Amino acid sequence: MRPQIIAPFGNHLPVRIRFGDGVAMELPEVVIGAGASSALVVVDEGLAQVNPAVGEALAALTAAGIEVVHSQKGAGEPRGADVDRAADAVRQTGAGIIVAVGGGSVIDTAKAARLCAQQDLTFAAFLDSEREIPPAEIPLIAMPTTAGTGSEVSGGAVVSDDRSGTKAGIASPNLRAEYALVDPVLTHSVPPAATAFSGIDAIAQAIAGMVARTRTPIGDAIALEAIRLAGRSLVAAYRDGSDAAARSEMACASLLAGLTMNISDCAAEHSLAQAIGTRTGAPHGLTVGLVLAETLERERQFVPEQLERVADALGAPVDGSADGGRAVRAVRELLCELDFPVLGSLAVRSDLDDLTRHAMADFFITQSPRPWSEAEVRTAFEGALAQVGR
């Protein structure tokens, strides 16, 4: 390939990151270093009881003399009511810092709650206001307990609007956490299915960063390392959650994929997934995996060179095709090894028109290398529904 002029791009990701086994125990140091003497902890309900490493990290806050108040998020994907409850806690406690401990749903809830508390609005009222997102007045620490969303370093949050059930995405550099403590040990207790779902989300974000029309050389470099790490470690983490090396590489892959999403963007796979999630309430990572191969099958006709690089990162054998098909086949093989469900397992077959409309209205589909038509979206959904097993 001949040299090409690189399109102009910019980059700014001011998140202070600490990564590695045991960094969760540095939480008190980070809180005190931020000048806070009190903390509001937004956490999954019951998480500290089932995840000993989380319990130890939160106990260390109290032992360090930090005043701690907990706001527990209910089960499932984040909803406006979760945000409003956490925002009320922010207002009432006057905490000097917010600590989000959990998966992407908890971290997204905390981001949105901080925003709504500062604006003195409910989540629904903020959506209606169409206000810009201002710089945050209270710092946020994100401590992920899953390896997938990369929300600890992203400037986005996805929360269901309780009035319509539609997943509403908000995004701004001002939404990012100021600190990310990524401790792979916190992910050791994640069950196999959740490991698979969140891990596929990380891979999808990294691949999307490689195909999006907004891709950059920095995003490509980070995405390829995320894909390489996840490609060799996700199945191992799925099969043996106590595999510390696999968990470490997956936590790093998730972090890198989150950075990729900020630098480049996601694409059509997330729009189709959001439509499924709105209709069914299924976990985000699951919905992404249900349509990932089908969306890549369409995208490869426009960016085959990029998907060949993805295939190499996934360790796919070279077959001389050079058309991006290796990446699609590698993704399908990975889904098979993870015993990943198929779209037909959800009751959506009669909702293709509605799913197509929702996907076409989503932002991420506009970031694909070429515009999608309604017919193409429907074809992708039909292709996913045609899968009777992995």
CATH code, 320 = 1.20.1090.10
Residue pLDDT, tens place only, 28-86: 999 999 999 999 999 988 887 779 999 999 999 999 999 999 998 888 889 999 999 99
Candidate from 150-164, 221-235, 309-323 with smallest mean pLDDT: 150-164
Radius of gyration of the chain from its Cα atoms, rounded to whole angstroms: 20
Q: In whole angstroms, what is the distance from residue 121 CA to residue 113 CA?
A: 10
Q: Per DSSP, which regions of 138-291 are E strands?
A: 140-144, 156-160, 167-171, 179-182
Residues 99 and 145 placed together within one structural domain of the fold: yes
The answer to whether the beta carbons of residues 257 and 285 sit under 8 Å apart is: no
> Does residue 228 register a pLDDT over 80?
yes
Name the token pair of 390: 């992995």
Residues 203 and 258 placed together within one structural domain of the fold: yes
Q: In whole angstroms, what is the distance from residue 82 CA to residue 74 CA?
A: 7
pLDDT at 54: 94
- The partner residues of 156 in beta bridges, in order of sequence, read 171
Looking at residue 134, what DSSP letter applies? P
Considering 137, 163, 187, which residue would you say is the last residue of a domain? Answer: 187
**Mean pLDDT, the chain, as a whole number?**
94
Distance separating the N- and C-terminal Cα atoms of the chain:
36
Residue 39 lies in a domain: yes
CATH of the domain at 145: 3.40.50.1970
Residue pLDDT, tens place only, 334-377: 999 999 999 999 988 888 999 999 999 999 999 999 999 999 99
Closest to 84 measured CA to CA, from 113, 115, 108? 113
> Does residue 318 register a pLDDT over 90?
yes
Please give the single-letter amino acid code of residue 274.
Q
Residue 89 lies in a domain: yes
pTM: 0.94
Q: How many domains does the chain have?
A: 2
Range of the domain at 103: 16-187
Looking at residue 282, what DSSP letter applies? -
Residue pLDDT, tens place only, 260-276: 999 998 999 999 999 99
Considering 156, 187, 218, which residue would you say is the last residue of a domain? Answer: 187
CA–chain centroid gap for 56, Å, is 25
Residue 288 lies in a domain: yes
Residues 181 and 276 placed together within one structural domain of the fold: no
Candidate from 158-172, 187-201, 260-274 with smallest mean pLDDT: 158-172
Residue 213 lies in a domain: yes
Q: In whole angstroms, what is the distance from residue 9 CA to residue 4 CA?
A: 15
Considering 167, 187, 207, which residue would you say is the last residue of a domain? Answer: 187
